[in-house]
């Protein structure tokens, strides 16, 4: 009969990959997280322009900013050309400021690099809105 010591079981349990989305479930309201997840799913499906439109068109503040959509689509296109196609994403926990503002981070795996996306959410009278979103590839600034 094969017996595993408690230490080996602990190492195996620790080494098992954690599902990052579940670790952040308590920090961000589900309706806010759904907005970031919808964006990232479109990004990985190589539909960056549609992802950006979904965020900006749904928010009156963003939709009033002339050129914001074109600028963000250009940055996403440039990242895809430089890094390859995005292939997957995972949530990593962020920060809260009271109950009306959350910041969440998501890692996006491109063919050649990982980028970190930041989504800042604000609770408004009409529900959760993405007040800011953007990405960077400067790994040393993430820690």
Is residue 110 a contact partner of residue 87, using CB atoms and an 8 Å limit?
yes
Is residue 128 a contact partner of residue 121, using CB atoms and an 8 Å limit?
yes
Residue 113 — pLDDT band, cuts 50, 70, 90?
A: very high
Classify residue 28 by its DSSP letter: S
Q: Residues 119-141: what's their mean pLDDT?
A: 91
Dist CA 134 CA 128 (whole Å): 17
pLDDT one-digit tens code per residue, 43-55: 999 999 999 999 9
- Give the number of other CB atoms < 10 A from CB of residue 133: 21
The predicted structure's pLDDT at residue 7: 41
The predicted structure's pLDDT at residue 1: 46
Query: CA-CA distances (angstroms) from residue 98 to 37, 101, 103, 120, 122?
Result: 22, 6, 11, 13, 11
Tokens 């928010």 sit at which residue?
Answer: 59
The predicted structure's pLDDT at residue 27: 67
Phi, psi of 59 (to 5 degrees): -120, 120
User: pTM of this prediction?
Assistant: 0.77
Is residue 69 a contact partner of residue 56, using CB atoms and an 8 Å limit?
yes
């Amino acid at each position: 009969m094969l017996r595993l010591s408690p230490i080996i079981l602990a190492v195996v349990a620790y080494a098992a990959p954690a599902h990052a989305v579940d670790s952040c479930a308590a920090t961000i309201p589900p309706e806010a997280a759904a907005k970031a997840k919808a964006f990232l799913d479109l990004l990985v499906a190589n539909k960056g322009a549609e992802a950006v439109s979904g965020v900006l068109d749904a928010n009156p503040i963003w939709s009033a900013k002339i050129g914001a959509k074109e600028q963000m689509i250009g940055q996403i296109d440039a990242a895809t050309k430089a890094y390859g196609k995005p292939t997957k994403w995972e949530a990593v926990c962020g920060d809260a400021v009271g109950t009306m503002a959350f910041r969440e981070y998501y890692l996006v795996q491109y063919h050649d690099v990982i980028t970190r996306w930041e989504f800042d959410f604000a609770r408004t009278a009409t529900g959760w809105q993405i007040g800011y979103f953007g990405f960077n590839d400067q790994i040393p600034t993430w820690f």
